[in-house]
Amino acid sequence: MAIEHTNLSDPAGIDPKQVARLSRLSRLGLSDDELQRLGSQLGAIVAAVDKLAEADTDRVDPTAQVGGLTNVCRPDVVLEGLSQGDALANAASQEAGLLRVPAIQ
């Protein structure tokens, strides 16, 4: 396997529709101006990150985590948690012991 791709990205920026999708997916609520600016910055960063394509990663396993630990588990034991009051203490909006959020649709 040789290098699979070169410059997926356009250094001038990434597609505004794509940026809008990223903003929506990550709930960033960006304005059109912000999308524009972010698009060109992301374009530049992604272009730099395209450097990865040059690395020879044939037959290399991915590393998600260093340290080599495995099977770190806890015993199935119940521990004291928070009271309802403490659980909700930081919430901006609550009602009858429940967290309140606006209409889902």
Site for other proteins in 48-67 (CB under 8 A): 48-55, 57, 60-67
State yes or no: residue 14 binds other proteins (CB under 8 A).
yes
State yes or no: residue 12 binds other proteins (CB under 8 A).
no
When the beta carbons of 2 and 5 are compared against other proteins, the nearer one is 5
User: Shortest CA distance to 18 belongs to which of 3, 48, 39, 2?
Assistant: 39
Amino acid at 90: N
* Contacting residue, 12, 16, 17, 93, with other proteins by CB under 8 A: 93
Number of chain residues interacting with other proteins (CB under 8 A):
73
Whole-number Å distance between alpha carbons of 43 and 21: 15
State yes or no: residue 2 binds other proteins (CB under 8 A).
no
When the beta carbons of 10 and 100 are compared against other proteins, the nearer one is 100
Whole-number Å distance between alpha carbons of 5 and 1: 11
Whole-number Å distance between alpha carbons of 7 and 15: 14
Footprint (CB under 8 A) of other proteins, residues 16-45: 18-19, 22-23, 25-30, 34, 38, 41-42, 44-45
| Ramachandran angles phi, psi of 95, nearest 5° | -155, 125
